[in-house]
Amino acid sequence: MPVLSGRMRQLGTESAFEVLARANALQREGRNIINLGIGQPDFPTPEHIVEAGRKALADGHHGYTPANGILPLREAVAADLHRRHGVTVSPDQVLIVPGGKVTMFFAVMMFGEPGADIIYPNPGFPIYESVIRYSGATPVPMPLHEEKGFSFSPEEVLALITPHTRLIILNSPANPTGGVVPKSEMDRLVAGLARHPEVAILSDEIYGEMLYEGTHISLTTYPELADRLILLDGWSKTYAMTGWRLGYGVWPETLFDHAERLAINCHSCVNAAAQFAGIAALTGPREPVRRMVAAFAERRELIVASLNRLPGVRCPRPGGAFYTFPNITGTGCDARTLQGQLLEKAGVATIAGTSFGEFGEGFLRFSYAASQEAIGKAIDRIGEFLAAA
C-alpha cells in the first residue's frame, strides 16, 4: 500500500459535491429531484464573454501566459476595483488564478503551519477550515450569529486573536448564510485590528456584486489594512463562469512574490482563452449582471416568504449572495437528518448547516440559483413532507 502523508487525513471536502452526486444518482434511477443545493448561478455565461473566449482560441492564444496573468486582464481588474470601490490598486498586485478557491489556498499555505492559529467564519465556506487543517495550523472558528443577520461580533473576533494568530478570514456577503456584515461592524473590527498589526486578513468578496440592499463594503476601502490585506475575488459568481476557472487575488506588495511563486509551483498560469473572456466580462456591458442579480432578488423574496410558511422553519432575509440559511430546529430534526430526508423522501436537495462548520447545526442551506417555478415546487414538497412527518 502506498503510504500517504499525515496531512492528507486533515483535508476535508465540500458536501455540496456529495449531495450533487447523490441527487444525480437518484435522477438516474428515474426520481425527479429539485436541486437547491447547488452553489452556482443557473444562468449561462453572457454571450459576449463566451465570444471573447472563442475569439482568443481562434486568434491562436494557445500557449502559456505570464504566471501572474496577462497585463490587459490585470489592468481590467484594477479598473474594475476602482469603478466598484473607488480604490487604486496596481495591476502588479493582481494575481490571476484558476478560480476563487486558489487565492484562499495560497493565503492559508502562506501563513498556516503547526503552532499558528487562523480565524475563519463558522458557519462558513467549508474549504477554509479544511485547508487550515491541511496546513497544520489550528482553525479558530469565528461565530456568526443568526440574530445579527449572520454577521460577527467585532469584539468577539478581536478577543479570539492571540500571539499565535497569523490570518483572519472574512467573507461578506457570505456563503452559506447570505449574511452581509454592516459597515459599523466592519469599522469596529478594522479599528481593533490596529492593535494587531502582525495579523494578515483574507477578505473573500466573491459575492461582492450580489447584494440586495445597500452597497458592498470592501475591505480594500480601509487604507490602514492595505499592507496586510489579501482580496479574493473572481468571475465565477458575478459572471456565471464557475466552469471557466478564473479568479484573482490582490496581494500586498510584500506578499505578492510569494503568491506568484506558489502559482508557478502549482499551475504555471491560467488558461489563456479564459483570461481573454475575463477581460470581456470586466469591460463589457453590465446589463447581464444586473439582470441576473435582479432575478436573484425576486427569488429571494419568494423563497424567504415560502420558507417562513413552513412549520418549524424560521428564515431571516439574507442580504446577499444567492443562499438562504433558515433555522430548522423547530422541525425537531437535526440538519443532517433533514438534509437526507428531504433528498430521499421529498426529492429536494439542500445542504445541512453542519457541512459549513459546527455552528451550522440547526440550519439548512438553500440556494436560490433555481427558477421560481422550481423553488415553489420544492417548498411545496417540503411542506407536504413536514406535514406528514
Question: Which region among 97-105, 161-169, 217-225, 341-349 touches ligand PLP (by CB under 6 A)?
Answer: 97-105
* Grid cell of 189 as nine digits: 473590527
Question: Which region among 21-29, 94-102, 278-286, 295-303 touches ligand PLP (by CB under 6 A)?
Answer: 94-102
Nearest to 135 by CA among 171, 96, 107: 107
Q: 3-state SS of the chain: helix, strand, coil percent to 5? A: 50, 15, 35
Binders of ligand PLP among residues 36 to 65 (CB under 6 A) are 39
Q: Tell me how far, at minimum, the Cβ of 286 lies from ligand PLP, in Å.
A: 20
- Output the DSSP codes for 256-293: HHHHHHHHHHHTSS--HHHHHHHHHHHHS-SHHHHHHH
- Applying CB under 6 A, does 125 fall inside the site for ligand PLP? yes
Instruction: Locate all alpha helices (DSSP H) within the chain, ordered by sequence.
Output: 15-28, 47-58, 71-85, 100-111, 126-135, 154-160, 183-193, 253-266, 272-283, 287-308, 335-341, 372-388
* Strand 348-349, strand 34-35: pairing: parallel
Strands (E) located in 172-226: 200-204
Q: Tell me how far, at minimum, the Cβ of 128 lies from ligand PLP, in Å.
A: 8
3-state DSSP call for residue 320? strand
Q: Tell me how far, at minimum, the Cβ of 16 lies from ligand PLP, in Å.
A: 8
Q: Which lies closer to ligand PLP via its Cβ, residue 165 or residue 171?
A: 171
- Asked whether 349 and 343 are in contact (CB, 8 A), the reply is yes
Q: What whole-number distance in Å separates Cα of residue 215 and Cα of residue 318?
A: 14
State the binding string over 176-215 for ligand PLP (x if CB under 6 A, else -): ----------------------------x-x---------
Q: Which lies closer to ligand PLP via its Cβ, residue 216 or residue 382?
A: 216
One-letter identity of residue 226 = A
Nearest to 360 by CA among 150, 122, 153: 122
State the binding string over 137-176 for ligand PLP (x if CB under 6 A, else -): ----------------------------------x---x-
Q: Which lies closer to ligand PLP via its Cβ, residue 238 or residue 306?
A: 238
Q: Which lies closer to ligand PLP via its Cβ, residue 234 or residue 347?
A: 234
State the binding string over 220-259 for ligand PLP (x if CB under 6 A, else -): --------------x-x-----x----x------------
Residues of the shown chain interacting with ligand PLP in the complex, contacts defined by CB under 6 A: 39, 99-101, 125, 171, 175, 204, 206, 234, 236, 242, 247
